[in-house]
Structure 1
């Protein structure tokens, strides 16, 4: 999810579910079910989902990073949306604004993929999970928006707060959203959970850092939708940023008053069957139900070692905002 909060191959042909929700069967990590919590029905496939999303200007597709079924569904949905509305753009959390020129150069065949990956320090799972999306967009000559805020600026906001922005040159300041809505206690509570200490300076700064991602992605999506070439935007983003219509979701709605925003939130099948219908509706506009990924840590010492490494990376000192 962030520096501050931690949150494959198969011979089996990918399957799309078309069964009642109580009978969802997920055999492989490429299987998924699409669920509409409003009518409590399984959506037959991504083509059917695309039809239901035809009047949505923004589709926020939440993900568990590196989950094969989710990344497969993202590609299928982008294809289906394109078939019915070719004035669509792909927006991605996985690239930030400082990398837009490189991404544009790649899409224009001015640089190769290896140069793109190395120069943008692309996510480790780019080749397996995000390459198909980018290549589809490249083939169809679609815009790909590098929507996120640069990680180095987000890290410094986490240390110094929003005052850090005041010391940035305009060329750097433009890589983050101009406006921040900081009064959001429900989202702040979900971020910190039972460990919430909202009055501490450190907690506030960590929350502002999360907002730097949400606000910048929302602004990037909005700016693209306001262009003359785009009627619809699909945005790939970590699940936390859009769950319960908070975070990026709410910030897009603020900026696009009167336009329809829809979310597709990922949920593990084991969690899905425990939720009431009211809870499912609160989670998102649509759900993609998937198999749980393998347990990250069986050994607590391994987990603590990883936390220590991440904490060390996030504690690198930033230049003073002044």
Structure 2
């Protein structure tokens, strides 16, 4: 870790001026799943015997994105080209564009125009992608193309059997066995009453299963795989982690999540055990979009 990382990753001090007074406010703290406060270096040390690390983000939270980049740097320092990065933010049918861009076969302009980039790409994901490109790391587009998830939402998982073999190459192998007892899936189902609730769960499951599929497909005994995703996809070691753990032992998987609290001095009870490490960000933190 650099001096910069050590100084800033545990406590961020935001200088605020009001009526001529300047004061410092902590922007975030890090806790274990049972609420013990730790620093960022302890998180890094816990990755040493892991094969897969999940960083669950709040998509519009700058602390999430900054620490993802810091974690990427730290893992690269420790593991070099063994590091593989996967992201929910790129869909599997964009992998060719990523590979061509990393091989300097297409320009940055064409890459960014032709890839379905999230609106916060330039501020939040581009730094990691460019770091991977510069250091010749593999970056994997793990998510299912949104058009297929949308069809599942409207018609259920059975609709996927109607697609071509090429289309199916961008998703997890069918059929998909869903663990419906997961808290996250039960919550999703309850959001919408009736049959549409079941479809909503299945649409989430095709995303989770596909991400797990491409993570596994790009993992070896020598790699350490860092996956970036919305926290909901890996909280409680459900979602993507649930699918991946059918092939990878849970003891080899480390999870990190991000939550927002009005008071960051201790971990709220509702946020206990969401992950191995929980980044608690002050709810007043500005958003990236």
| Offset, 1:271 | 6.7
Check the 8 A contact 2:88/2:143 in 1, yes or no. Answer: yes
1:158-197 Cα distance to aligned partner (Å, 9 max, x none)? 111111111111010111101522231333222244x454
Structure 2 match to 1:290: 281
Matched residues, number: 267
| Offset, 1:213 | 0.7
**Greater fraction strand:** 2
Structure 2 match to 1:33: 29
Whether 1:247 and 2:239 are equivalent positions in the alignment is yes
Q: Cα–Cα, structure 1 residues 97 and 289, in superposed 2: closer, same or farther, change >3 Å?
A: same
| Offset, 1:294 | 6.9
Q: Cα–Cα, structure 1 residues 235 and 119, in superposed 2: closer, same or farther, change >3 Å?
A: same
1:188 alignment partner, one of 173, 180, 185: 185
Which structure exhibits the higher relative contact order, with contacts defined as CA atoms closer than 8 Å and separated by 6 or more residues? 2
The runs of 5 or more residues in structure 1 that have no matched partner are 1-13, 20-24, 297-322
Structure 2 match to 1:91: 86
Relative to the length of structure 1, the TM-score reads 0.76
2:255 alignment partner, one of 240, 254, 263: 263
The runs of 5 or more residues in structure 2 that have no matched partner are 1-6, 13-22
* SS of residue matched to 1:264: strand
Check the 8 A contact 1:58/1:260 in 2, yes or no. Answer: yes
What is the correspondence of 1:43-122 to structure 2 with a 5 Å cutoff?
43=39, 45=40, 47-86=41-80, 87-122=82-117
Q: Cα–Cα, structure 1 residues 203 and 258, in superposed 2: closer, same or farther, change >3 Å?
A: closer
| Offset, 1:280 | 4.3
* SS of residue matched to 2:283: coil
Structure 1 match to 2:200: 206
Runs of 4+ in 1 over 3 A off after TM superposition: 25-28, 271-274, 293-296
| Offset, 1:270 | 2.2
Structure 2 match to 1:17: 10
| Offset, 1:281 | 4.1
Structure 2 match to 1:158: 153
| Offset, 1:94 | 0.5
Check the 8 A contact 1:18/1:42 in 2, yes or no. Answer: no
Whether 1:130 and 2:125 are equivalent positions in the alignment is yes
Q: Which piece of structure 1 moves more, 126-135 or 177-186? A: 177-186
Structure 2 match to 1:3: none
Check the 8 A contact 2:212/2:244 in 1, yes or no. Answer: yes
